[in-house]
A = this chain, B = another copy of it.
Amino acid sequence: MLRLAPEGYYRFVQASSYGATFGGGEANVAVSLANFGMPVSYVTRLPQHEIGQAAVNKLREFGVDTSLIVRGGNRVGIYFLEKGASQRPSKVIYDRAHSAIAVAEPSDFNWKEIFKEAAWFHFTGITPALSDNAAAIAMDACKAAKDAGITVSCDLNYRKNLWSREKAEKTMGGLMEYVDLCIANEEDAADVFGIKAKNTDIVSGALNREGYVDVAKALTERFRLKNVAITLRESISANDNNWAAMLYCDSCTYFSRNYAVHIVDRVGGGDSFAAGLIYGMLNNMPPQESLEFAAAASCLKHSIEGDFNHVSVDEVKKLSGGDASGRVQR
């Protein structure tokens, strides 16, 4: 997806140019993992034209295998992003209807072939929200992943501008049957499945940690999940957030350190968390370590422009190991 963002803190009505980068839930996870040195393929559909090619190139640039991308369709989905500051929130205008992936056919993808050498399949709740076709493709992929015996993770990622809560619940509910690891932010479970954390007020930024343990348990039970991870963002302002996460795993709950982040770009924060967690699990870190790795990785994401999280394993481990001072490295 093409991201078009006015420079700095300019509002849309002030913009005379747009920074052009690429991003989107699954792509962000793929680039994170490639930056961690993992072999990773990104599967989507993109037009043959140069804007489509530029999207392919930007994934290749960071080491993501793009050979499985189907080429066709006319549009690269676009989202316009206006960066917020202080009390003014960031604003997203989606222009992704009719994109190549939204109008793709299930027959465009041979999942059995795609998963031949795969160990893990990750998708987000944004994909099935794009169109009925995209939802059908996600379902095909989930089934094929299960058949291939590979782990499936899903980031709920509810987007109210793409579909209704009712449709989201129905579609995501079906897909969750195939999921091993469910990832959500502090709002998703309530938005999609009506599972709310008690005593939590998202707007005021006061989260009740215990309430989220209940949320994780409820999700686990409802969908027979192996693991549930929830990111816990406390939004003080558009510039300053507290950031932490929890992991519910084999009936145990783990909480990460809490980070006070001064935001450069918060888009892709959840995706960088997902990538960190997948990295930890694929490398057989114990739960607390995986969670801390994921939380530190996504903490760092907030300091990086664009959707992609350009950090190395060493940088993440230095932070998860306790050095958050930001002192110059020279």
State the A residues within 8 Å of B (CB): 4, 7-21, 49-51, 53-54, 57-58, 60-63, 74-75, 78-80, 82, 84-95, 97-98, 159-161, 202-205, 235-240, 259-264, 266-267, 296, 299-300, 302-306, 310-311, 315, 319, 322-330
Contact = CB atoms under 8 A, between A and B. Distances in A.
Given A51-B95, A84-B303, A89-B327, 8 more contacts: A4-B20, A7-B17, A9-B264, A50-B93, A60-B61, A85-B326, A87-B303, A91-B328
A10 B305 contact: yes
B87 A264 contact: no
Contacts of A302: 86
Chain A binding surface SS class: loop
A318 to B, nearest CB: 9
Contacts of A50: 11-13, 80, 82, 91, 93
A14 B310 contact: yes
Contacts of A79: 330
Contact of A88 (B18, B78, B89, B326): B326
Given A237-B325, A325-B236, A328-B89, A14 B305 contact: yes
A20 B18 contact: yes
B329 A263 contact: no
Contact of A303 (B13, B21, B88, B240): B88
A107 B239 CA distance: 45
Contacts of A88: 300, 303-304, 311, 315, 326
B89 A304 contact: no
A4 B6 CA distance: 12
A58 B60 contact: no
A74 to B, nearest CB: 7
A300 B92 contact: no
A224 B58 CA distance: 44
B12 A51 contact: yes
Nearest to A6: B20
